[in-house]
């Protein structure tokens, strides 16, 4: 085989390896920036989780307050229904 032909065959492979190395090196400077952006985004997620956790006691107190109101309303409705069913109506007091 001709040695010059062997060099010509290896030239595209060498160029491809060089291009790959150069392109891989271009993105290496972005890694710290992207890492900091990811950490900041995760910090925001944690802030939202903490905000939700802080709202739970308020929600519990609201439900307790509404449960008391609901109990009072139910008691009033039951008493009103009992009064309404205990009314005695005479036929003489009814008019057409």
Task: State residue 7's pLDDT score.
Answer: 73
The number of C-alpha atoms within 13 Å of 60 and in the hemisphere containing its C-beta is 6
* DSSP for residue 86: T
Instruction: Name the region of 95 (left: φ>0; alpha: ψ -120 to 50; beta: rest).
Output: beta
Give the pLDDT mean for 19-40: 86
User: Whole-model pTM?
Assistant: 0.47
Sign of the torsion formed by the C-alpha atoms of 75, 80, 81 and 87: positive
Q: Which residue has the tokens 């307050």?
A: 65
User: CA distances (Å), 68 to each of 56, 57, 72, 77, 78, in order?
Assistant: 19, 17, 6, 14, 16
Q: Tens digit of pLDDT for each residue in 69-95?
A: 999 999 999 999 998 888 777 777 777
């Amino acid at each position: 085989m001709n040695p010059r032909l062997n060099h010509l065959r290896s030239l595209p492979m060498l160029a491809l390896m060089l291009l790959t190395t150069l392109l891989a090196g271009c993105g290496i400077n972005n890694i710290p920036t992207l890492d900091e952006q990811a950490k900041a985004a995760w910090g925001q997620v944690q802030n939202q989780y903490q905000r939700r956790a802080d709202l739970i006691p308020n929600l519990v107190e609201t439900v307790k307050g509404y449960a008391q109101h609901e109990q009072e309303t139910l008691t009033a409705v039951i008493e009103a229904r009992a009064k309404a069913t205990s009314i005695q109506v005479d036929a003489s007091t009814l008019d057409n």
